[in-house]
Structure 1
Amino acid sequence: MHHHPRRAALAAGLLLTAAACATIPASAAPRTGATGKAPATALVVHARWGGHCTFDRLVIDVRGTMPPVAVKPVEELRYDPSGKHVPLPGRHFLRISLSPAVAHDTAGRPVHQGPRLVKIPLTQLRGVALTGDFEGVVGFGAAFHANPVYHAFTLHDPERFVVDVRHADRCA
């Protein structure tokens, strides 16, 4: 049996490099444009809302490729990473998480132009908060008067994530 110290050292170095690259957060990934290389991390740039006859709509605008989004009913909203309570009116809440995504540029300056916390007097939607921009996850919380019956979907060109919350027809 022959021992090859150079090969062993090279293999160890390759394994360490691979392990180090695997732990780089998405927010630190290289940002490339239309070069054909790895896509840039999605930038969450705005949140907006509107009331319609039979639903309230929340829209989250994204620059870049839309990341996976999770919407989950929760008992209460908390800021990430502090865990502090989010002071929004309402009895029912949805947590919306976009990942991998950021709401800041590479220098750490915010790119999200929407409000960080706002009370909203719509039929169902009572408030929206940016609850986190931490470790490649951008979080929002939405507060509602009643248990929300919602439909969540993505629209493209421009990229945006939409949550429609049904309510009784107020235009009839």
Structure 2
Amino acid sequence: MFALVPATTAAAAPYCGITWGSQAKSANPTQSGNLVNVRAGRHDCYDRLVFDATGPANGYWVSYVDQMTEDPSGAVIPLRGGAKLSVTVQAPSYDHNYVQTYHYTNRSELVNVTGYQTFRQVAFAGSWEGTTTVGLGVRARLPFRVFTMPNRIIVDVAHLW
């Protein structure tokens, strides 16, 4: 006679403890500085994209999209990678006199992300009506988080699930 033993399943621990998910994330702005820089960094468990502003900036909308488009024209922006994140920050790249505050050399390659584990490309998608949008090409649809620090909006995308 065989005894029935209840099956047990062990849930795998999240990668690096990351529990962010891949759904859209947003925060309504209460302050809005002007965008002055976009930069990236590599970390053990994720790649990071940082938007630097002249003052406090805390509004954003970040989501995966099927196709990245330029704001306001709607022209398609090709991005390398298996997935595309649209990142809109409430920090225009111009001041109240419409003088550009963020200068880039190549709108298709804002930041050199060669060798990054997750990031594939960072492209400028426009600055319009008080916001700036950037297309972030990533390896695959992976978990991400968005948060703010003084004069910064930060997007982290995990290397794995």
* Secondary structure in structure 2 of the residue aligned to 1:140: strand
Aligned residues: 127
Is the CA contact (8 Å cut-off) linking 2:108 and 2:122 kept in structure 1?
A: yes
2:87 pairs with 1:87: no
User: Post-superposition, which runs of at least 4 consecutive aligned residues in structure 1 deviate over 2 A?
Assistant: 105-109, 113-117
2:115 pairs with 1:161: no
* Secondary structure in structure 2 of the residue aligned to 1:138: strand
**Counterpart position of 2:102:** 112
Q: Distance in 2 between matches of 1:139 and 1:56?
A: 19
Name whichever of 105-114 and 43-52 sits farther off. 105-114
* Distance apart, 1:109 and its partner CA: 2.7
* Distance apart, 1:47 and its partner CA: 0.5
**Counterpart position of 2:121:** 127
Which has more helix, going by share of residues? 1
Is the CA contact (8 Å cut-off) linking 2:58 and 2:153 kept in structure 1?
A: no
* Distance apart, 1:116 and its partner CA: 2.4
Q: Structure 2: which 5+ runs fail to align?
A: 1-29
Q: Distance in 2 between matches of 1:98 and 1:166?
A: 20
TM-score (norm: length of structure 1) = 0.66
CA deviation profile, 1:39-82 (whole Å, cap 9, x unmatched): 98520111100122221111011112214111111111100011
2:34 pairs with 1:43: yes
2:135 pairs with 1:141: yes
TM-score (norm: length of structure 2) = 0.71
Q: Distance in 2 between matches of 1:53 and 1:167?
A: 8
* Secondary structure in structure 2 of the residue aligned to 1:42: coil
Percent of pairs with identical residues: 30
**Cα root mean square deviation, aligned:** 2.0
Of the three residues 79, 89, 92, the one matched with 1:102 is 92
Q: Structure 1: which 5+ runs fail to align?
A: 1-38
CA deviation profile, 1:19-38 (whole Å, cap 9, x unmatched): xxxxxxxxxxxxxxxxxxxx
With over 3 angstroms needed to count, the CA separation of the structure-2 counterparts of 1:130 and 1:160, relative to structure 1, is same
Q: Distance in 1 between matches of 2:154 and 2:31?
A: 22
